[in-house]
Structure 1
Amino acid sequence: MDIKQLNALLTVAETGSVTRAAQLLHLVQSAVTRQIQSLEDELGTALFERTRTGMLLTDAGSRLAHSARTILAELERAEAEVRQDAGAVRGIVAVGLLDSVSDLVAEPLVAQLARTHPQVELRLYSAFAGHLRQWLYDGVLDVALLFGVTDPTAISVTPLATEALWAVAPPEAGLSPDRSVPFIEVARHPIIAPSRDNGLRTLLEEVAARAGMTAHVAIEANSARMQKQLVAKGHGWTVLPAICVANEVSSQALSMAALDDPEAQRQLVLAIPRSRRRSSATEAVARALVSLLRAAADDGRWPSVQWHATAS
């Protein structure tokens, strides 16, 4: 098993096509086929199911692809660190950002690192907190902004901020940031929320429990953008951090109000795996990310957030 074979495996898995993979790898199709076949022969199992719609990973192939991504990412990081110039901060840093704050910080982070540490190569990933946690555990990410960390054994966490949750409704509902609403008002409407494996869904159910109710979710949508679209069209109400809907409230596409529950909030942390030595590049990116978030909290671009004084 070698790097070329693993690259072939991942490229075929991502494209679903040997032909397309060969084009991306700048190889002839037969060479890619041989690499996949040699891997299957070596492991004694099929890695792909050949279907009329394309190449699909088998269970064994999925497990190998998962490990291959981690292995290749570690090799890229090691190569970048070994080659770094004396005194220069250089390397590959994979950053995980919550979907809800990616618009706020992704471009400023790229711009700042380009100015201060141009030899740092950023890999940005945006996802829900559960996915980011798993990618940290798997070694895909070097640093992530997330919430809902209940077991910090494998990751080092720095508390950053507390962010309030808001009721979000169609504009005609007339919700106002100046007047909080009880959860019972949300529950009078169809509730649009993520699935149960999502951290925001857990927070929603905790809010309902404190109100002595059960959150009856009418529509599940694992995308804040989709939740907002459905609410704007009158299909129900939802509960989100204010940062998710600040633009829509400004444009009057939605209305929102704070929940009348002081515990309706999420604790945001900066997380870094304990299992990996922190490179100078990772440290530089972490500092830049915290600095940008603090600035957004201070100047009001990040609404309803309380920055923790202990954060650096």
Structure 2
Amino acid sequence: MDIKQLRALVTVAETGNVTRAAALLNIVQPAVSRQLRLLEEDIGAVLFDRGRHGMRLTEAGQTLVEYARRVLNEIDRARAEIQPSRGTVGGIVTIGLLPSTCDLLSSALVRSVAERYPGIRIRMSMGYAGTLQAWLEAGEIDAALLYDPKQTPSIQVQPLLEEGLWVVGLPAHGLKKDQPVSLVQLAGQPLILPSAPHGLRSLVEHAATLMELQLTVVAETNAMSVQKSLVLGGHGLTILPTIAVVDDLARGILTAAPLAEPTLMRKIVLAVPANRHTTTPVRCVVEILVESMKDTVHRGDWLGARWLGD
């Protein structure tokens, strides 16, 4: 098994066609077919179902493709770090961001990295906390923002901030940032919440159980964009950190008020692998990410947030 064979495998899997893969790899079609044949002989399993409609991965092929992508990504990162532009820090850095943080942080992060470290190529992956932690442990991302995960030997975390949860609705709901809303006031109101076992849903339901309240959940979704869309469509209220709706609040299409009695807080931490070396490019990007978050909190753009870091 060698790198050429793995590249052939991944390219054919993505294109579904040996001819198109050969064009992308800039080699002749028989060479691609030979690479696949040698790989199948080495693995001892058929990797593709070859039919009139193209090349489809077998179960064994799907498993190997996942590992092959990781191998190729690691090699690309190593090559970029070892051979950066002269006098610069270089490499590929993949950062995992929570959906609620992407809009506010991604642009500033890309801009600052480009200005300070032009040799670094940054990749951003968005996912919920559980997904990001799995990617981090599998080596698919270099660092991630998480919601205060359980202690595990595979990752190390640095607390960054605490953020409060807010009730979000249409302008007609009359929500104001200086007029907190209690959970009791939400009883009987139509609510749009994340699907279980999302951390925000767990926080809200636990608080409601302690207060012996029955919440009316009219819709559940695992996509924050759908949560906001349903609120904009007049289907009910939702509960989110304000960073998730900062642009909507500024435009006046949504209103929000802090959730109180009880006040529900979530802690955001920076997580990096504990069992892998943190490279210089990763440290540089992480430093910029933390600086950007700190500045956002201190400027007051992250409503309801309290900085915990240094």
TM-score (norm 1): 0.88
Shift in CA distance, 302/13, structure 1 to aligned 2, threshold 3 Å? farther
Shift in CA distance, 55/230, structure 1 to aligned 2, threshold 3 Å? farther
Alignment partner, residue 150 of structure 2: 150
Alignment partner, residue 162 of structure 1: 162
1:149-208 CA distances to partner (integer Å, 9 max, x unpaired)?
Answer: 112421111100001111122332222222122224334233322332433333333333
Q: 2:84 touches 2:91 (CA, 8 Å); kept in 1?
A: yes
Q: What is the deviation of 1:86?
A: 7.7
Shift in CA distance, 175/75, structure 1 to aligned 2, threshold 3 Å? same
Alignment partner, residue 206 of structure 1: 206
Shift in CA distance, 31/289, structure 1 to aligned 2, threshold 3 Å? same
Q: What is the deviation of 1:305?
A: 0.8
Shift in CA distance, 169/80, structure 1 to aligned 2, threshold 3 Å? same
Gaps of 5+ in 2: none
Secondary structure, in 3 states, of the residue corresponding to 1:245?
helix
Alignment partner, residue 93 of structure 1: 93
Alignment partner, residue 13 of structure 1: 13
Secondary structure, in 3 states, of the residue corresponding to 2:306?
strand
Shift in CA distance, 199/78, structure 1 to aligned 2, threshold 3 Å? same
Alignment partner, residue 294 of structure 2: 294
Please state if 1:63 is matched with 2:66: no
Please state if 1:256 is matched with 2:256: yes
Shift in CA distance, 232/275, structure 1 to aligned 2, threshold 3 Å? same
Q: 1:95 touches 1:144 (CA, 8 Å); kept in 2?
A: yes
Structure 1 segment 56-205 matched on structure 2, within 5 A: 56-84=56-84, 88-205=88-205
Q: What is the deviation of 1:268?
A: 0.4
Between the two proteins, the alignment pairs up a number of residues equal to 310
Alignment partner, residue 235 of structure 1: 235
Following the alignment from structure 1 to structure 2, what is the Cα–Cα distance between the partners of residues 53 and 232? 43
Secondary structure, in 3 states, of the residue corresponding to 1:259?
strand
Identity of aligned residues (%): 42
Shift in CA distance, 188/67, structure 1 to aligned 2, threshold 3 Å? same
Following the alignment from structure 1 to structure 2, what is the Cα–Cα distance between the partners of residues 190 and 26? 57
Secondary structure, in 3 states, of the residue corresponding to 2:70?
helix
Shift in CA distance, 76/153, structure 1 to aligned 2, threshold 3 Å? same
Q: 1:130 touches 1:197 (CA, 8 Å); kept in 2?
A: no
Which stretch has the larger CA shift, 278-287 or 256-265? Answer: 256-265
Structure 1 segment 249-288 matched on structure 2, within 5 A: 249-288=249-288
Amino acid of the structure 2 residue aligned with 1:226: V
Q: What is the deviation of 1:52?
A: 7.8
Q: What is the deviation of 1:84?
A: 4.4
Q: 2:189 touches 2:215 (CA, 8 Å); kept in 1?
A: no
Following the alignment from structure 1 to structure 2, what is the Cα–Cα distance between the partners of residues 5 and 213? 59
Amino acid of the structure 1 residue aligned with 2:264: A
Q: What is the deviation of 1:223?
A: 1.5
Secondary structure, in 3 states, of the residue corresponding to 1:303?
coil
TM-score (norm 2): 0.88
Secondary structure, in 3 states, of the residue corresponding to 1:178?
coil
Alignment partner, residue 306 of structure 1: 306
Q: 1:186 touches 1:238 (CA, 8 Å); kept in 2?
A: no
Following the alignment from structure 1 to structure 2, what is the Cα–Cα distance between the partners of residues 95 and 217? 33
Shift in CA distance, 67/197, structure 1 to aligned 2, threshold 3 Å? farther
Q: 1:207 touches 1:261 (CA, 8 Å); kept in 2?
A: no
1:233-252 CA distances to partner (integer Å, 9 max, x unpaired)?
Answer: 11222211111112222323
Q: 1:163 touches 1:266 (CA, 8 Å); kept in 2?
A: yes
1:88-110 CA distances to partner (integer Å, 9 max, x unpaired)?
Answer: 42222111111111111112112
Please state if 1:24 is matched with 2:24: yes
Amino acid of the structure 1 residue aligned with 2:253: A
Amino acid of the structure 2 residue aligned with 1:283: R
Following the alignment from structure 1 to structure 2, what is the Cα–Cα distance between the partners of residues 144 and 174? 36
Following the alignment from structure 1 to structure 2, what is the Cα–Cα distance between the partners of residues 63 and 138? 14
Secondary structure, in 3 states, of the residue corresponding to 2:260?
coil
Following the alignment from structure 2 to structure 1, what is the Cα–Cα distance between the partners of residues 54 and 171? 45
Q: What is the deviation of 1:144?
A: 1.2
